[in-house]
Amino acid sequence: MDYKIKKDIQLIRDFFELTQENLARELGVERVRIARIESGLNYPREEFLDLLYNYCFNKGLRLNAQKEAFYKEELLANHILLTHASRSELVGEIKSDYGKANNDFGKGFYCGESYEKSASFICRSNNSSIYFLDFFDDNLKKVEFSVDQEWMFAIAYFRGRLDEYKDSEIVLKIINKIKNADYIIAPIADNRMFSIIDEFINGYITDEQCKHCLAATPLGLQYVLLTEKAVKNIKILEKCYISSSERNYYAKKQTDFQKQGFDKTKLARIEYKGKGKYIEEIFK
């Protein structure tokens, strides 16, 4: 799927009130190059894409974030705008068995609810892109999780860290609920958050400490489409280009966010020390 470069050039020119010649001068290219791309005669190479979108971003126009807002305004009833972050690109039909078996909820098509969060996850990958998706919840069975013990056990199970307790009534109840769902809505667990869950599984912290440590660094919600019925209700609206300037911007924001999260997590360990139960007490 190509980027909507023809429309974007027109938007950028109109927004900054530039002629083709003016924009060409700003980018350091020939006017005919702008004209041929804008007319659809040529599709630009990577270096031009980065040049154009860097110019747009550095001039203060957050084009992709604005597109997100417009798409949300245009949604129909029972439709949800989702984002899919990709380090390469989506090829062919969307399938429900994407990803690895040891992802948060096993194999599935993973989406986010926020462009900014998705950009933060892939900001350090070159050639990454984000897709805007229209998801229609039409009589689909869903399971929703919050930052609680049930969610922690689900994540630990699918990441292969709960083998000792996998046949327990508590775990089987959670897994059966997931298996009967078309899709899941749950907090995102990145590797740093999983390391906190791992401390709980290893018996170093209580469930209350773990829960509040995780809640201290919210990463937003993820939608995990588990069945073919669910993925058939996805429509790709647009593939968005993330320029090197935009990736650097989100990389810095992510670093700052992680620092704040580390401080909050440390405080949560202290505040809830000795409160709650250790894992062996829950499964005794």
| pLDDT tens string 169-226 | 999 999 999 999 999 999 988 777 888 888 899 999 999 998 888 887 777 899 999 9
The pLDDT tens digits for 151-163 are: 999 999 999 999 9
User: Using 50, 70 and 90 to split pLDDT, how confident is the model at 281?
Assistant: very high
Both structure tokens of 227 = 């069945």
pLDDT of residue 268: 84
For the chain, give every domain's residue range. 1-61, 75-282
CA dist 34 → 10, 27, 55, 282 (Å): 10, 10, 14, 64
pLDDT of residue 138: 86
CB 221 within 8 A of CB 186: yes
CB 108 within 8 A of CB 98: yes
User: Using 50, 70 and 90 to split pLDDT, how confident is the model at 150?
Assistant: very high
Whether 267 has a pLDDT exceeding 90, the answer reads no
CATH assignment of 1-61, given 3.40.50.2000, 3.40.50.720, 3.20.20.70, 1.10.260.40?
A: 1.10.260.40
pTM, to two decimals: 0.90
Q: Helix (H, G, I), strand (E, B), or coil: what is residue 185?
A: strand
Q: Which of 21-25, 97-101, 115-119, 203-207 has the highest mean pLDDT?
A: 21-25
